[in-house]
Amino acid sequence: MNIKLLLAFLLFPFCVFAQERVTVKGRIINEKGEAVEYVQLGVPKLQIGTISTVDGRFEIAVPCDTVEFFHVSYQPAAYPVTGDVDDVVIVLHEQELPPAVFIGGNTKEKYLIHPGVKIDERIGGADFYRPGGGGKGAELGCIAKVRKPFLIKDIQFTIQDNHIPGCVASINVYRIEGDPEIFINVLHKPIYFNIIESDSRQDYSIQPDETILLEPGRYFVALQVVAIDDEAVRRILETPESERHPRAFHMSTALYFKSSYERYAAMGKMVKIPVNIGVGVRGLEYQ
């Protein structure tokens, strides 16, 4: 017991030091000098992350470590943090993905991912976005096992209610490989869409503009909030709490009897969740 106490005492200053953070502010551009929107950034191994604004600006508090940057259309980048910085410029280089190859033969329509059996709404739903957690940068979705080439035609989900002003979301599709697992983007360009503010249920059906052909393997299909109206949120925060909507800053979904996964900001590890938010993926399976 005395040895354990001594080790705890000796390690305590190190632990405190390891958690000290500095502030990094900057902007993210491409090789043409254009702003890159909604870039995931953070320190994956520490589960610290956020998303840049639509004009590529970001601010993050991190230990002196390496901040990594991820975007569907660009190659990953890294920035070694050694102290506070006010205007670092990160340049991302375009991602060159092979074009989709069309396959001949017969196809049949099917669900690659089925939402599962819905849980009675009287029991409640799940806060997909909420104050203090589950916000920008958290990806929530399902694992799909592809046995035959599959062409994604439609991605479906339902929002029970949304009280996040100016909510912009994205759909991400990754191929999972290796041990430990790595996530390889399969999209050529982001899939962005708006989630409207509403007290009532809204069913969404997203048809990708690009051809998303999945070869046999394991994939992660996820939803992510990438932006909110910060000015509108500020105005709400200035309103006395007693005068706010009781679910201000919340967005919820229905629940289904099927497991799903949450992956925190900047490509961190996944956490298994025993219920599903109702993500469905339909398309054509090649025979």
> pTM of this prediction?
0.81
| pLDDT above 50: residue 7 | no
CB neighbour burial string for 55-89, b if at least 16 within 10 angstroms, e if fewer: ebebebebeebebbbbbbbbeebebebeeeeeeee
Q: Stretch 185-214: mean pLDDT, rounded?
A: 91
Q: Stretch 184-208: mean pLDDT, rounded?
A: 91
pLDDT score recorded for residue 225:
87
**Of 50 and 122, which is predicted with more confidence?**
50
Q: Stretch 218-230: mean pLDDT, rounded?
A: 89
Residue 52 contacts residue 39 (beta carbons within 8 Å): yes
Q: What confidence tens digit (pLDDT) does each residue in 134-160 have? A: 466 778 888 899 999 999 999 998 888
| 215 half-sphere exposure, CB direction, 13 A CA radius | 10
| pLDDT above 60: residue 193 | yes
| pLDDT above 60: residue 6 | no
DSSP per-residue codes, 129-168: EBTTBS-TT-EEEEEEEESS-EEEEEEEEEESEE--TTEE
pLDDT score recorded for residue 181:
82
| 71 half-sphere exposure, CB direction, 13 A CA radius | 28
DSSP per-residue codes, 188-249: SS-EEEEE--BSS-EEEEE--SS-EEEPSEEEEEEEEEEE--HHHHHHHHHS-GGGS-TTTT
Q: What confidence tens digit (pLDDT) does each residue in 51-98 have? A: 999 999 999 999 999 999 999 889 999 999 999 999 999 999 998 777
To the question of domain 2-92 being in CATH 2.60.40.10, the answer is yes
Residue 221 contacts residue 175 (beta carbons within 8 Å): no
11 pLDDT band, cuts 50/70/90, is: very low
pLDDT score recorded for residue 255:
81
Q: What is the phi-psi region of residue 129: left when phi exceeds 0, alpha when psi lies from -120 to 50, beta otherwise? A: beta
Q: What confidence tens digit (pLDDT) does each residue in 27-39 have? A: 999 999 999 999 9
pLDDT, averaged across the chain? 83
Domain positions in the chain are 2-92, 107-286
pLDDT score recorded for residue 56:
95
Nearest one of 151, 144, 146 to 105, comparing CA atoms: 151
Q: Stretch 246-266: mean pLDDT, rounded?
A: 78
- Domain boundaries 107-286, CATH class: mainly beta
| pLDDT above 70: residue 241 | yes
pLDDT score recorded for residue 266:
62
50 pLDDT band, cuts 50/70/90, is: confident
Nearest one of 48, 73, 50, 53 to 63, comparing CA atoms: 48
256 pLDDT band, cuts 50/70/90, is: confident
pLDDT score recorded for residue 271:
80
